[in-house]
Amino acid sequence: MNAEEMKDKLTEYLAKDILKQPNRTIQPGEALLSSGLIDSFHLVDLALYVEDNFGVHIDDSELNASTFDSLDGLIALIQSRQ
């Protein structure tokens, strides 16, 4: 899966399942964690989703804005492990 497809898949998941706003667009560089768009209740969901869909494990100690804070950052993290 290339970065573009990953971005679409992640955007759809975030908008629909986490933000409950299916039509919402998310900019690739938009802050997700530090902005509170994704709150701490949903960090585990995101890690499980990434693992199930991209076969990459994100450790719980990495679920913070200093590891990734945007779609771009998350995609880079996933790609570095695939």
Partner 1 sequence: MPTFSDLLKAHYETTPDKVNVTILHGGQPDRMVTYSELIKGASGYVKTYVRQGIQPGEVILLILQHGIDLLYAYYGAILHGAIPSIMPFLTEKLLPERYRADLAALVSVTQPTAIVTYREFEAEVRAALKPGEDSVKAVIVSDQVDGPCLPEFGSFGGLRRKPEDIVLLQHSSGTTGLQKGVALSHQAVINQLTDYGKAIRLQDSDVFVSWLPLYHDMGLIACWLMPILLGYPLVIMSPFEWIRAPYRLLQAVSRYQGTLSWLPNFAYNFCAQKIRERDLVGVDLSSWRAISNCSEPMRWESQDAFRERFRSLGLQPDAMTTCYAMAENVFAVTQGGIDSPVVFEDIDRDSLQIEKFARPSVAEKPVIRMLGAGKAIPNTSVSILDTKGHALPDRHVGEVALKSNCMLSGYYHRPDATEKAFVNGWYLTGDYGYLVEGELYITGRKKDLIIVGGKNIYPQDLELLAYEVPGVHAGRASAFGIFNETSGTEDVVLVAEVDTSEQAEQQKIADSIRAAVTRGSAVALRYVHLVGKHWLVKTSSGKTARSANREKFLKEMEEKGRDF
Name which of 5 and 59 has its Cβ closer to partner 1.
59
Among 12, 44, 55, 76, binds partner 1 (CB under 8 A): 44
Amino acid sitting at position 9: K
Of 3-32, binders to partner 1 (CB under 8 A) are 20, 24
Toward partner 1, which CB reaches closer, 4 or 36?
36
Give the whole-angstrom CA distance, residue 26 versus residue 70: 9
User: Is there binding between residue 64 and partner 1 (CB under 8 A)?
Assistant: yes
Instruction: Decide: is 60 part of the binding site for partner 1 (CB under 8 A).
Output: yes
Residues lying near partner 1 in the complex (CB under 8 A) are found at: 20, 24, 33-41, 43-45, 48, 60-61, 63-65
